[in-house]
């Protein structure tokens, strides 16, 4: 299968390892990965901040980059960005009166998948240890991000994949379904409420005793990881794609304060 | 240019009364967050109700179909509201009730006051009602020399404490039982000075206090949960029985109901009587449901009035993206599951309607430019828990985003210096509207890495980004972006080899 990678802006610029891990997993399964070079961002920050006019250009760019027949499906290592591509893009086009873009955005949205969705529903991965060689001998807790959980209805796809990684020990997170408080520009506009939500999330993570918190959205993990770092906690955050990409032969190292900092191969 | 009145209907009237945030939400939230007692009370109470609701909902196999039905009935009601209102009026009037139409809070208050004054009474008992809180009826009556006594336990607590409700179903959710005992000891006449904080004892004290009012009151004021258009019937759904007392004992009953509370037919109640109790109190069925249709000679109130209140509802109905907010049946499930409400409490929202539904309903009814109401749609991380909990499937996150767009557009219309947010959005529009633009910017990543220094974190940023760094570090950026790595270093794997091992070092 020919798979177009949508890296997402935050992973492209801040967490390239997450995108490289995504590529590694898909290539390991024997698929061809392409990277449409025109891609930039899903535009969710603009939409969710009310800047629909500005979002129009960003959405148009995404649709232009992925509006091609030369790939079978598109994938992104983010529930939130995929939800935006699937649900928000047509709405932005409609609100801006761009019927042509609306139609093309619907096509792109329909063939775009979140990583665990693609692996589970399309590529038939049920056991990461057996099918991907995933090996990660660490204690890990898992935060399911809101948009993957509620907009994409990912249910336990991510956690099932994680549980099937060799050597891993998953620890249940209390109140896992509670938002971490990121919310895009909410974290700046309503910084105090966002922080209060984050502190409760961090306290729940700490009480698991795990040294790592994983999830499917780099933005939420940056928020949680940034808070852990500020509090001087030894706990790190890590995208689940990197855990799936880790093998016995080439394990990923865990080091450094904030996700993206020290986890290198 | 002069204009001539051509008899065209005027634009919808925006709502007035207690529908406004008077300070911006972030500011109000900052203050409320510091109240640790409030946060502890709220966390305990919301989590308790949340769990009850989840259990009550989980035991119904057709809950999702029920939500679909509720949503469809309400959508159909809003699409046909003028005709349904007229049908209701005809049926209600035919059974001896008297209908009054109020465009806004002031008109409604004046109508109710005049009706009370006609009776010669100066005291009234009240059934818990959001509509009368919205129009500020109690305050208005007080100015007119009429004392209104709240009879719902939680409303009574709030009224005795000279406080404001902070939740639409549990108005005193921000108080714990010790605080309630102290309020009773301080404010209730003839209260047992040895009153304990046991819920049963507190309820008993309230019952004794209220019983005298029930037996002497000649006028009662209520809201209504539903108005049934095909029969002209009004409904109050409650838990304590105080409503039943108010609705049956006095001679005069004055009900204030928003025009959106209609259901087309009696039969539609079957859906809503299942949706409402399970969503609001987490009960299979509420203890008391009162239904009345006009006047029954010799039984119950003989003077039955209904004030049909617009107060911005028509304006909300005119908003194509926002109108489903009117489907709300005031169950409060959205605020009970909201992580923002759980931490700030209801007072931070300013309006009578707090929480996620309030954050859309208030600005829809008043217009986005009213006081600080444009700050309300931002009071959400858009986590979506409210949408999942809503029994009539109001897509609250989508309407929040729509209203943020309305706010941004209304700000654009002003001549002003661009805000930092404007500039950030404009700059990122450029960056994110072409792959080559973001690539150009990403060439600067090593500078960020350098700025982060040996600690490899950024701890302080200026301007609005300081909101982020007040509690969170930012990791040092990588030395190259993914797209740079892809162009320079990625090689498609040879068939049959394990590509994971071919990856380069960061």
Taking only the tens place, the pLDDT of each residue in A234-249 is 999 999 999 999 999 9
d(C-alpha B421, C-alpha A51), whole Å: 10
User: Closest Cα to residue A225, out of A214, A240, A241?
Assistant: A214
Instruction: Please check whether residue B276 lies inside any domain of the structure.
Output: yes
Report the residue of A11, A133, A154, A188 to disrupt the B interface, i.e. the one with the largest count of B CBs within 10 Å: A188
| Residue ranges of B 390-409 with Cβ closer than 8 A to chain A | 398, 401, 403-409
Domain end: B316, B337, B365, which one?
A: B316
Assess whether B111 and B247 both reside in one domain.
yes
Tell me, yes or no, if B452 comes closer than 8 A to chain A by beta carbon. no
DSSP B179: H
User: Does residue A225 contact residue A258 with C-beta atoms inside 8 Å?
Assistant: yes
Mean pLDDT in chain B?
93
Instruction: Please check whether residue B117 lies inside any domain of the structure.
Output: yes
Residue of chain B whose Cα is closest to the Cα of A58: B433
Q: What is the mean pLDDT of residues B285-295?
A: 96
Distance from the Cα of B175 to chain A's closest Cα (Å) equals 20
How confident is the model at residue B8, as a pLDDT?
Answer: 55
User: Closest Cα to residue B125, out of B224, B248, B305?
Assistant: B248
Q: Is the pLDDT of residue B503 over 70?
A: no
Instruction: Please check whether residue B159 lies inside any domain of the structure.
Output: yes
Report the residue of B38, B54, B64, B339 to disrupt the A interface, i.e. the one with the largest count of A CBs within 10 Å: B339
Domain end: B252, B286, B316, which one?
A: B316
Domain end: B316, B334, B357, which one?
A: B316
Instruction: Please check whether residue B119 lies inside any domain of the structure.
Output: yes
Q: Is the pLDDT of residue A263 over 50?
A: no
| Residue ranges of B 296-335 with Cβ closer than 8 A to chain A | none
Distance from the Cα of B284 to chain A's closest Cα (Å) equals 25
Chain B residues near residue A37 by CB distance under 8 angstroms: 435, 483, 487
Q: Is the pLDDT of residue A132 over 60?
A: yes
User: What residue has token string 């993957």?
Assistant: A148
Chain A residues near residue B438 by CB distance under 8 angstroms: 9, 12-13, 40-41
Written as six digits, the tokens of B237 are 């759904």
Residue of chain A whose Cα is closest to the Cα of B444: A13
B384/A150 Cβ within 8 A: yes
Q: Return the SS3 of B122.
A: coil
| Residue ranges of A 101-130 with Cβ closer than 8 A to chain B | none
User: Closest Cα to residue B356, out of B329, B327, B325?
Assistant: B325
How confident is the model at residue B5, as a pLDDT?
Answer: 58
Residue of chain A whose Cα is closest to the Cα of B433: A58
Quote the number of domains for chain B. Answer: 2
The tens digit of pLDDT for each residue in A148-170 reads: 999 999 999 999 999 999 999 99
Instruction: Please check whether residue B242 lies inside any domain of the structure.
Output: yes
Tell me, yes or no, if B433 comes closer than 8 A to chain A by beta carbon. yes
The tens digit of pLDDT for each residue in B169-197 reads: 999 999 999 999 999 999 998 899 999 99
Please calculate the CA angle A42-A45-A51 and round it to the nearest 5 degrees.
105
Where in the sequence is the domain holding B82, given as residue range(s)? 25-316
Residue of chain B whose Cα is closest to the Cα of A33: B492
How confident is the model at residue B454, as a pLDDT?
Answer: 85
Maximum distance among all Cα pairs of chain B, rounded to whole angstroms:
94
Instruction: Please check whether residue B413 lies inside any domain of the structure.
Output: no
Quote the ipTM score: 0.95
B468/A193 Cβ within 8 A: no
Written as six digits, the tokens of B166 are 């902070």
Assess whether B304 and B446 both reside in one domain.
no
What pLDDT band is residue B21 in, cutting at 50, 70 and 90?
very high
Distance from the Cα of A171 to chain B's closest Cα (Å) equals 22
Tell me, yes or no, if A50 comes closer than 8 A to chain B by beta carbon. yes
Instruction: Please check whether residue B351 lies inside any domain of the structure.
Output: no
Residue B299, domain CATH = 3.40.50.10420
Assess whether B312 and B453 both reside in one domain.
no
Instruction: Please check whether residue B386 lies inside any domain of the structure.
Output: no
Domains and CATH numbers, chain A: 2-121 (3.40.50), 126-245 (3.40.50.11810)
How confident is the model at residue A185, as a pLDDT?
Answer: 96
Tell me, yes or no, if A178 comes closer than 8 A to chain B by beta carbon. yes
| Global confidence as pTM | 0.94
């Amino acid at each position: 299968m020919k798979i177009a990678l949508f890296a997402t802006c935050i992973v492209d610029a801040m967490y390239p390892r997450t995108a490289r891990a995504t590529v590694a997993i898909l290539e390991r399964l024997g698929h061809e990965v392409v990277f449409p070079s025109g891609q930039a961002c899903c535009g969710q920050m603009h939409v969710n901040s009310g800047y629909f006019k500005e979002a129009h250009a960003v959405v148009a760019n995404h649709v232009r980059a992925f509006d091609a027949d030369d790939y079978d499906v598109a994938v992104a290592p983010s529930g939130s960005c995929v939800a935006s591509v699937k649900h928000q893009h047509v709405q932005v086009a409609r609100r801006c009166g761009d019927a042509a873009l609306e139609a093309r955005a619907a096509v792109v949205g329909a063939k775009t998948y979140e990583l665990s969705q693609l692996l589970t529903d399309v590529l038939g991965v049920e056991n990461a240890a057996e099918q991907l060689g995933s090996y990660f001998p660490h204690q890990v807790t898992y935060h399911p991000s809101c948009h993957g959980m509620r907009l994409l209805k990912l249910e336990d796809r991510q956690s099932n994949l994680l549980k099937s990684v060799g050597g891993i020990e998953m620890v249940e997170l209390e109140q896992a379904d509670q938002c971490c408080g990121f919310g895009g520009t909410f974290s700046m506009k309503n910084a105090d409420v966002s922080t209060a939500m984050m502190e409760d999330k961090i306290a729940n993570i700490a009480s698991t005793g795990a040294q790592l918190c994983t999830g499917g959205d780099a933005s939420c993990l940056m928020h949680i990881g940034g808070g852990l770092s500020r509090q001087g906690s030894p706990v790190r955050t890590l995208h689940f794609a990197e855990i799936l990409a880790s093998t016995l032969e080439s394990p990923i190292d865990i080091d450094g304060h904030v996700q993206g900092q020290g986890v290198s191969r | 240019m002069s204009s001539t009145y051509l008899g065209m209907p005027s634009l919808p009237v925006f709502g007035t009364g207690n529908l406004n945030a008077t300070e911006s939400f972030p500011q109000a939230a900052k203050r409320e967050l510091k109240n640790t007692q409030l946060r502890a009370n709220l966390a305990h109470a919301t989590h308790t109700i949340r769990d009850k609701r989840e259990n009550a909902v989980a035991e119904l196999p057709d809950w999702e179909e029920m939500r679909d039905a509720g949503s469809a009935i309400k959508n159909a009601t809003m699409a046909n509201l003028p005709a349904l209102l007229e049908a209701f009026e005809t049926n209600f009037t035919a059974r001896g009730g008297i209908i009054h139409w109020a465009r806004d809070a002031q008109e409604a208050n004046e109508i109710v006051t005049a009706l009370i004054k006609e009776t010669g009474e100066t005291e009234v008992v009240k059934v818990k009602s959001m509509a009368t809180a919205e129009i500020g009826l109690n305050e208005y009556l007080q100015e007119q020399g009429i004392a209104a006594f709240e009879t719902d336990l939680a409303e009574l607590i709030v009224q005795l404490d000279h406080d404001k409700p902070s939740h639409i179903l549990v108005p005193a959710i921000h108080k714990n039982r010790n605080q309630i005992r102290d309020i009773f000891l301080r404010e209730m006449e003839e209260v047992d000075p040895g009153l304990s904080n046991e819920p049963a004892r507190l309820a008993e004290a309230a019952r004794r206090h209220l019983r005298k009012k029930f037996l002497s009151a000649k006028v009662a004021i209520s809201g209504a949960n539903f108005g049934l258009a095909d029969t002209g019937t009004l409904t109050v759904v409650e838990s304590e029985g105080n409503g039943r007392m108010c609705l049956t004992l006095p001679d005069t009953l004055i009900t204030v109901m928003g025009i959106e509370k209609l259901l087309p037919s009696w039969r539609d109640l079957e859906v809503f009587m299942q949706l409402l109790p399970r969503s609001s109190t987490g009960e299979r069925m509420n203890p008391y449901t009162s239904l009345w249709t006009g006047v029954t000679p010799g039984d119950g109130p003989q003077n039955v009035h209904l004030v049909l209140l617009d107060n911005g509802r028509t304006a909300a109905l005119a908003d194509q993206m926002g109108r489903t907010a009117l489907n709300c049946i005031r169950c409060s499930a959205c605020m009970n599951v909201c992580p923002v409400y759980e931490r700030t409490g209801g007072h931070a929202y300013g309006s009578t309607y707090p929480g996620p539904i309030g954050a859309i309903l208030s600005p829809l009814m008043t217009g986005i430019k009213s006081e600080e109401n444009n700050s309300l749609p931002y009071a959400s991380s858009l986590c979506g828990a409210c949408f999942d909990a809503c029994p009539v499937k109001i897509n609250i996150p989508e309407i929040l985003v729509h209203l943020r767009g309305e706010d941004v557009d209304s700000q654009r219309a002003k001549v002003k210096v661009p805000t930092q947010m404007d500039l950030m959005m404009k700059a990122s529009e450029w960056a994110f509207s072409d792959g080559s633009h973001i690539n150009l910017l990403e060439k600067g990543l090593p500078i960020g890495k350098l700025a982060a220094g040996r600690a490899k974190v950024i701890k302080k940023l200026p301007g609005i980004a300081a909101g982020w760094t007040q509690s969170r570090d930012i990791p040092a950026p990588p030395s190259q972006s993914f797209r740079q790595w892809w162009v320079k270093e990625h090689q498609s794997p040879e068939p049959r080899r394990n590509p994971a091992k071919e990856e380069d070092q960061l």
